[in-house]
Amino acid sequence: MTCHQCERTAAGICRFCGRALCPDHFKTRPFIMAAMPGKNGSISVLPVEDALHCGICHPHDDFVELPPPAAAT
Ligand SMILES: [Zn+2]
Ligand SMILES: [Zn+2]
């Protein structure tokens, strides 16, 4: 497997989009491993501070609310 940005052997995978990256090209950014309802309607999250990031994709910083799944009939 080679780096998405050059021909070198990849050393890691972007946590967000799955691109393979060599040490020269990967960056890091916080990644939320898990989230759960907290007290008083807040949300508690379990972040990883330095997850691998390719620097190309653009993860949302906040949760995106999805519509509820259609009810099965
Ligand atoms: Zn590279
Ligand atoms: Zn990425």
Q: State how far the Cα of 32 lies from the Cα of 15, in Å rounded to an integer.
A: 10
Residue 36 belongs to some domain of the structure: yes
**Residue 7, class by beta-carbon neighbours within 10 Å (0-12 exposed, 13-18 middle, 19+ buried)?**
exposed
Tell me what pLDDT residue 70 has. 82
What is the CA(50)–ligand 2 centre distance, in A? 13
Whether residue 37 is contained in a domain is answered as: yes
User: Within a domain: residue 29?
Assistant: yes
Tell me the residue range of the domain where 32 lies: 12-53
For residue 63, is pLDDT > 90? no
* Count of domains forming the chain: 1
For position 33, what pLDDT does the model report? Answer: 86
Q: What is the pLDDT of residues 9-45, one digit of tens each?
A: 999 999 999 999 999 999 999 888 888 888 888 888 8
For residue 29, how many C-alpha atoms fall within 13 Å in the half-sphere facing its CB? 15
| Residue 45 CA from chain centroid, whole number | 14
49 located within any domain: yes
Residue 4 in any domain: the answer is no
Residues with Cβ within 5 Å of ion ligand 1?
3, 5-6, 22, 24-25
